[in-house]
A and B are shown apart, each in its own frame.
Chain A
Amino acid sequence: MIVEFILVGLVLLGGFFCFVAGLGVLRLPDVLIRMHASTKAGTLGSGLILAAVAVLFADLATVTRAVATIVFLLITAPVAAHMIGRAAFRSGVPMWKTKIEDGAQEALKRR
C-alpha cells in the first residue's frame, strides 16, 4: 500500500514536471531561457518516472536498466545544452534582456 502511494507520487510528479518543461519551451522568451526549462525540468520529470519503474519492478535487471537510463540522462543533458547554447550564442541569435559582457562575443568567436 505504501509502495503504491510512492509509485503514484513519483508518476504524477514526473508527469507534472514533463508538462512544465513543455510549457516552458513553448512560452519562455529566448533560446537560452527555453533551454533552462527543457534541460532541468525535463530531465527531472523523466528521471522521476524512470525511478517509478525501478520501484515497481524491483528486480536486479530492471533496476539496473532504469538507473543506467537516469545516469545517462543526467550526464548527457548538460553536455547537449552546453553545445546548443554555445552554437546559439556564436550564431548570434537575438537574446531577450540578457546583458552580454563586453568582449564575450569576441572571446567566444570560433578560432
Chain B
Amino acid sequence: MEILQTAVDIAFVIVMLGVLFAFIRLIKGPSLPDRIVALDMMTVQIVAICALFAISSGETAFLDVAIVLALVGFLATVALARFVERREAGNDDRALTPDLPQDEETGP
C-alpha cells in the first residue's frame, strides 16, 4: 500500500495547486460570473480532496462530507447565478417581483 500512499500524496499536491489557481481567479476575476465559475470550480475540487482524504485515512465518513459539499456548492452556484440575472434586470420593479406578468402595450 506504500505506492498508493505516495500516489495519494502526489494527488493532494496537484489538486491543491488546482484550488490555488481557482482561488487566484476568484481574486482577479474581472466580472462577477468569473468569480462564480471559480467558486464552483473550488467546490468540485474540494470534493476531490475529501475523497483523497477518505483514501489516505481509511475513514469512509469523509464521503458524506463530499456529498454534502457537492449539494451545498450546487445550491450556492444556482443562487448566485440567479442573483446575477436579477441584478442585471436593473432597478425597475420587475426585478423585485419577477413573477408578475408585464404587459408592454398599455397605450390608449
Contact = CB atoms under 8 A, between A and B. Distances in A.
- Main secondary structure on B side of the interface with A: helix
Category for how many chain B residues contact A: 35 or more
Given A15-B52, A83-B81, 14 more contacts: A4-B3, A15-B10, A21-B45, A31-B31, A31-B34, A31-B37, A46-B45, A52-B55, A69-B51, A69-B66, A72-B70, A80-B77, A83-B77, A92-B88
6 contacts: A19-B17, A22-B22, A42-B45, A52-B55, A84-B81, A88-B33
Interface residues of A, number: 53
Interface string A59-80: 0011001101100110011011
Contacts of B36: 84
B41 A22 contact: yes
